[in-house]
Chains A and B, each alone.
Chain A
Amino acid sequence: MQDGRNEAATPWQRACHECDLLLAKAVAPTGQKLVCPRCNATLHRKAKHGIRYTAALSLTGLLLFIPAASLPLLQFSLFAFGAENTLLNGVMSLFDAGYYWLSSLVLFCSVLAPLWKFLLLAFVCWGSNWAFLDRPVAASVRWYQHLKEWGMLDVYMLGILVALVKMSDLGKMEIEPGLYCFVAMMLIANLTTLSFDPEAIWERIAHRRALRIAAAAPGGST
């Protein structure tokens, strides 16, 4: 600590992932964000709430996913005929019509990716409590980063709005209970994404590792 040489060699903590600038600070203080002084990239944002908050949110999202995916979102009626739409039956009709690529893309972006995001985050937040899950947790965080931008519930929501307005002059459009669950799930998904801080997970893992080493060291030496 008192070593003067430490000052000469600046202990770099982080490199900006967008402009490669070296920084001496790694994480932002609670409730604030760390911004790259050169390119203004947000490097790290530390939420006021901890890992538990994200865990609770992702669990809520998972619960909401069940009604949002199974209940009808909209109902369209014309004369005596009516049809309902759920998250999945649009994909099914596209698939039946032969649009395999389009239907799998819609399925992936509106159902699978959001579901996986919730599952991964729930697993990461709960699983990081146990040392034997360190590796799968690290892998999950990695997958989550790749999957992040493909969960498009908010875009789907806008699609619903456009469909609602576009078809309202043709027949009668009605909002079904599934839509409320869907909106709630979308909000929860955005909140979860915002509140998740991978740095906290890494910190937790590193902290536990340090404790383990500290506990093992005296035992090994005596």
Chain B
Amino acid sequence: MRRPHKALQQGLTACLCCHKLVTLPASGRCICPRCGARVHGRIDGSLMLTWALTITGALLLLPANILPIMTVIYLGSGEPSTIISGVMQLYNAGLWGIALIVFVASIAVPVMKLVGLALLLVQIQLRLPLIPLQAMRLYRVVSGIGRWSLLDLFMISILVALVDMGAIAQVEAGPGSTAFATVVVVTMMAARSFDPRLIWDIYDENLEVEAESENKGVAGNG
């Protein structure tokens, strides 16, 4: 079987910043001659860092969803609302389109990101057989959608300034928003620190193991 030419096996690697092909010295790390970024064969401690950030994000998701993220006071009355109750209010008001957008951005996306990253990490850590193209698709979705979760926080910052009329109508942010902001930042950093090339490393390794055991089987039969 023809093996694909992998850069690392030939002592080469792509600079992740400017995509220049760099020859790695024996130490395995250098400075990119073109853009000056640090170059590693694989991102340093990628798995550990991604695990840490994913777990942090998952833990922070609890206060982000339990604590209220904002309070709308209208004519002196108003209750703090959490992310979920905010979506429910929009839905009950008949604004189901907006409710869907907010639901996707602030509930579905963070959860999907954390689950997706955890799946990828488990697959790599336990060297499970994986379908690389599927894993890549998951990785690209996870790293692409993260920024949209900030939607809710932007909306809060707009409303806080816009609806500020003392007792008549006022919007206040709640402590949940801080936790949620941290979730978004942490998950974005987690997606950043994950090195997709590890997926292919595991895949190639698995193929090699398979080929070897097949060879042994053939030899045994002969």
Which positions in A face B, CB cutoff 8 Å? 10, 12-22, 26, 38-41, 43-44, 73-76, 78-79, 81, 83-86, 89-94, 97, 99, 101-103, 105-106, 109-110, 135, 138-139, 141-142, 145, 149-150, 152, 155-156, 158-160, 162-163, 165-167, 169-171, 198-199, 202
Which positions in B face A, CB cutoff 8 Å? 4-8, 10, 12-14, 16-21, 34-37, 72, 74, 90, 93, 95, 98, 101-102, 105, 132-133, 136, 139, 147-148, 150-165, 168-169, 172-173, 177-178, 181-182, 185, 188, 196-197, 199-201
Majority secondary structure, B binding face: helix
Give which listed residue, A41, A73, A97, contacts B172 with CB less than 8 A: A97
The answer to whether A15 touches B161 (Cβ under 8 A) is: no
Name 21 interchain pairs, CB-CB below 8 A, sorted by A. Answer: A12-B21, A15-B12, A18-B139, A19-B136, A19-B196, A19-B197, A20-B8, A39-B136, A75-B162, A76-B162, A78-B163, A81-B169, A91-B157, A105-B150, A106-B157, A135-B36, A139-B35, A155-B147, A158-B151, A159-B150, A159-B157
Nearest chain-A residue to B200 (Cβ)? A19
Query: Most chain-A Cβ atoms within 10 A of its Cβ — which of B8, B12, B18?
Result: B18
Give which listed residue, B21, B90, B102, contacts A15 with CB less than 8 A: B21
Nearest chain-A residue to B203 (Cβ)? A19
A15 CA to B111 CA, complexed, in Å: 32
A16 CA to B16 CA, complexed, in Å: 10
A192 CA to B188 CA, complexed, in Å: 22
A170 CA to B105 CA, complexed, in Å: 23
For B136, the chain A residues whose CB sits under 8 A away are 18-19, 39-41
For A165, the chain B residues whose CB sits under 8 A away are 95, 98
The answer to whether A109 touches B150 (Cβ under 8 A) is: yes
Nearest chain-A residue to B89 (Cβ)? A166
Query: Most chain-B Cβ atoms within 10 A of its Cβ — which of A41, A101, A163?
Result: A163
Give which listed residue, A102, A152, A163, contacts B158 with CB less than 8 A: A163
The answer to whether B8 touches A152 (Cβ under 8 A) is: no
The answer to whether B196 touches A156 (Cβ under 8 A) is: no
Give which listed residue, B16, B74, B164, contacts A83 with CB less than 8 A: B164
A162 CA to B95 CA, complexed, in Å: 10
A29 CA to B121 CA, complexed, in Å: 36
A73 CA to B101 CA, complexed, in Å: 21
Give which listed residue, B101, B169, B188, contacts A149 with CB less than 8 A: B188
The answer to whether A85 touches B7 (Cβ under 8 A) is: no
A79 to chain B, nearest CB (A): 7
The answer to whether A99 touches B168 (Cβ under 8 A) is: no
Instruction: Tell me whether A142 and B35 are in contact in the complex, defined as CB-CB below 8 angstroms, given that A22-B6, A162-B151 are known contacts.
Output: yes
Nearest chain-B residue to A146 (Cβ)? B17
A189 CA to B188 CA, complexed, in Å: 21
A34 to chain B, nearest CB (A): 10
